[in-house]
Structure 1
Amino acid sequence: MLGRAVSYWNLHRFPLLMVLFTLLFYWVTGYALAREDTIRFFCLYGALFFFCFKLIQFEKWNYRFLLVSGILFRLVLLFAMPNLSQDFYRFLWDGHLVLDGINPYLSKPNDLISELGTDPYFAALHTGMGDLSAGNFSNYPPLNQFFFTLAALLGGKSILGGILTLRFIIITADLGIIYVGRLLLKKMNRSAHLIFWYFLNPLVILELTGNLHFEGVMLFFMVAALYLLISKRTLLASLAYGASVVVKLIPLMLLPLLFTALGLRKSLLFYVGTGLAVILSFLYFYTPEFLHNFLATLHLWFSNFEFNAGIYNGIKQIAIQFDAKPWELIRWYGNLIPYTTVALVLFYTFYKRDSSLPHLINSMMWVMVIYYLLAPVVHPWYLIVPLLLSLFTPYRFPIVWSVVAILSYTAYANPGYKESMLAISIEYLAVLGMMGYELFRKRRG
């Protein structure tokens, strides 16, 4: 036994040391880092990404080693309070409302706090979520609300208990992604180790397991739907896709792309299955006021706020030279985005009549990439969607984006969370540069 351990150490000495250092750096990031300390954060993040790259390079055929490493990187964050996002306070708030029979789409936290604020637990959630979240209705779809309710039920009136439940859900979804993702890569005759660019990616680990965002849960259902499609199980695929929609609404914009891939009869079956899954999930919360509140809250995020925007910031810098008012510009631009997105999706649906799965996933990735290049709000965890999709395509620039997106956190080090145009410029120049290089190389090839 000792001889085997010594032999294993001799064969994997450097990867094992990298795993130990990575665990240490995740511990420091999760338990001993303030988000305002951006220089320290960038150094830790850069080191984590370097180790991620080297581990995949050295051990890409050692599935068990990389799987166990990715699980350990998540478990080291198990008891950490999310330090880069405060959204989890609203998750737990919504979960307790549903548990108490209160519709989270009809009541703003600010309207309920006078009644619930006598309870120290609810007072802590209300303070923690921040003024913006507390002043608006919930915009999290029903399956998300189910997970929040589960966290409230199992965690009780313990913030850490709720966090642990949410974390286990997210880690389970990531394990599902690596399992189904490897099967899908093999079906597409692509190298199965590519899925570890998702599973070991520091952006994925810190933003999902660390900060409790649910993009990974959404992506699990989406990848499961794609695998079921390639396995000729259209109805089950539609239900899985519907589940992804009611975790996050983003997959809705990709639905038209399936028309070309499936053909008329199968696409209709898929749309009906997805539609039923979505409608039935919303029925529990439906009231005449629900739809108005839900859509108004969604519209608010697109037409009133900006963060880490690419093309929008370029337009804004030009518009400022002509004395344009920023608050009018963001409202105009936010209202324009839905029409631009529809045109983009229709273009990718009909410009090339290719029904293959690789073409479908390639189109999905490009729609998401262009959408986030245009969007006025691009939080780093949003980019996990094109990152995962890109692993099933020949393109790798979304991996670069997952590295440089963290530059957006320079805003937290500035008074009033003012964004650094230099940091955003570096981010988008790096992404567009790598994108241009890959497109040029593909064109020449």
Structure 2
Amino acid sequence: MVLVVGTVVVGAVVWRFGRGLSVGAVVAVAALCQVPGLTQAPITSTDAYRYVWDGRVQLSGHSPYARVPLDDSLAQLRDPVLFPGLSPSEKSGVTEQTPKNPVDDPRTRINRPFVPTIYPPVAQAYFTVVALFTPWSAGTLGLQIAAALLAIALAWLLAVQNPRWAALWGWSPIVAMEASNAAHVDVLAALLVTAAVILTARRPKLAAVLLGAAGSVKLLPLLLLPAFRGRRPIVAIGTFLASYVPHVLAVGTLVLGFLPGYLNQEGFDDGSSRSAILALLLPPEARQVAAAVLALALAALAFHRTRRDPIALTCCWLYGAALLIATPTYPWYGLPLIALAALARRPEWIAVPLASYLAYASFGHDTRQGLIYLAAAVIVVTAITIRHQLVAKSGLTTAPLPANTGERDETHRPRNLGRAR
């Protein structure tokens, strides 16, 4: 609830006093917002411990796709921070390379220690670089600092486009929680996605490479492919696939790690525990079909609208709508959406990651989660409807911003109402 109130307060401050903000002021406050999270261990999840482990395993010359954290062949990599209940000299009792059991183990802080990693290659490269500069005794602190720096860098990138709207990202309590504290890799995905959208007009090939790299951090950014025209989707997919080549050569089909099992466990494969809004109306078997139809319709609409709308706006509603269809219960999945909402100047979409926090706190209560996400969808649709009505009543249209942003300004100019008599 504190995050909800904090986000509303930030939005109100930005709306009331944001016009006079400078790039330096936005970045400075964004940096200050990241400081508290560095003072304690991750709160919202234990993902950062897995990141630390994956980076450490790669530095040792092994693959986190092929070996599980409790594998005794990696016992020399254990330390009291990651394995408070299991020393390097003790046997874990795990004999299989990829056991079926995905549950946690009290001997380690790493989640799902019986299965290999799920994170794609660019994320793995990031983990490895951070691990190279982080002493084992620091635990997750190196990743927390790295995530904070990425969040600040993204605040600067957005502020260069427009300082006022950049504050929605830089000053967001959600970003502060999930970057400097939880160190979620979604911050890197958000930075790459935002850079791709900004560069798409001037450097289309580089933008496509960045989008593919974002997909190789977390798969969700690949949902934005329909918004990128021409050969850019091909380049993005090529970049994504190329990132896997070194790992395929090293471990073959094991390169998928626990990803298929994770998708099954989280309900992404059949929609049984996802699509909470659709679950209010449909049984599980119909939910998957409805979600697929909606996703295809959104992709087609995005492909059509990107010919006339700014790409930032298309990416914003496409990503946000995808989250409303899938309704993940992990709030950090919404970090790229916050950045896109700031870039597209559509703050109503921040209701979606806020809803995911409330859904996260309501885990196990499916109907409640569905109603929470439904409320977020109502907020988004209401804001869009009001905006369109205001534009229609005033007889105004949006004026374009410079081409490098791919956005439109909030200022308006009158339509041609005919010759004056």
Using structure 1 for the length normalisation, give the TM-score.
Answer: 0.71
Among candidates 204, 222, 229, match of residue 193 of structure 2? 222
Q: State how far apart, in whole Å, the 2-side matches of 1:137 and 1:47 are.
A: 38
- Pairs within 5 Å for 1:34-433: 42=1, 44-56=2-14, 57-63=16-22, 64-112=24-72, 115=75, 120-124=80-84, 127=106, 133-158=112-137, 161-185=138-162, 192-230=163-201, 232-259=202-229, 267-268=230-231, 270-286=232-248, 287-291=251-255, 293=257, 296-297=260-261, 299-300=263-264, 301=266, 302-303=268-269, 309-315=275-281, 319=283, 329=284, 333=287, 337=291, 340-350=294-304, 352=305, 354-356=306-308, 358-393=309-344, 395-411=346-362, 418-419=364-365, 421-422=367-368, 425=371, 427-433=372-378
Stretches of structure 1 that go unaligned for 5 or more consecutive residues are 1-41, 186-191, 260-266, 320-328, 412-416
Q: Is the 8 A contact 1:400 1:431 kept in 2?
A: yes
C-alpha displacement of 1:66: 3.6
C-alpha displacement of 1:341: 2.7
Q: Is the 8 A contact 1:60 1:66 kept in 2?
A: no
C-alpha displacement of 1:208: 2.1
User: What SS does the corresponding residue of 1:155 show, helix, strand or coil?
Assistant: coil
Q: State how far apart, in whole Å, the 1-side matches of 2:110 and 2:129 are.
A: 25
Tell me the number of residue pairs that the alignment of Structure 1 and Structure 2 aligns: 365
Deviations 1:210-236 (A, max 9, x none): 211122211211221222222x22222
For 2:134, give the aligned amino acid. G
Q: State how far apart, in whole Å, the 2-side matches of 1:129 and 1:333 are.
A: 36
Distance 1:156 1:212, change over 3 A: same
Distance 1:210 1:277, change over 3 A: same
User: What SS does the corresponding residue of 1:197 show, helix, strand or coil?
Assistant: helix
Deviations 1:309-351 (A, max 9, x none): 5314314xx64xxxxxxxxx38x7458755653443133213x
Aligned to 1:441: 386
Aligned to 2:96: none
Deviations 1:77-102 (A, max 9, x none): 21310111111111111111111111
Q: State how far apart, in whole Å, the 1-side matches of 2:154 and 2:180 are.
A: 14
Q: Kindly, what percent of the aligned residue pairs are identical? A: 19
Distance 1:256 1:422, change over 3 A: closer
Distance 1:308 1:228, change over 3 A: same
For 1:379, give the aligned amino acid. Y
Distance 1:437 1:129, change over 3 A: farther
Q: State how far apart, in whole Å, the 2-side matches of 1:114 and 1:333 are.
A: 42
Stretches of structure 2 that go unaligned for 5 or more consecutive residues are 86-104, 393-421
With 192-201 and 361-370 compared, the bigger mean Cα shift is at 361-370
C-alpha displacement of 1:52: 2.0
Q: CA RMSD in A?
A: 3.2
Using structure 2 for the length normalisation, give the TM-score.
Answer: 0.75
- Pairs within 5 Å for 1:8-47: 42=1, 44-47=2-5
Instruction: Give the helix-richer structure, 1 or 2.
Output: 1
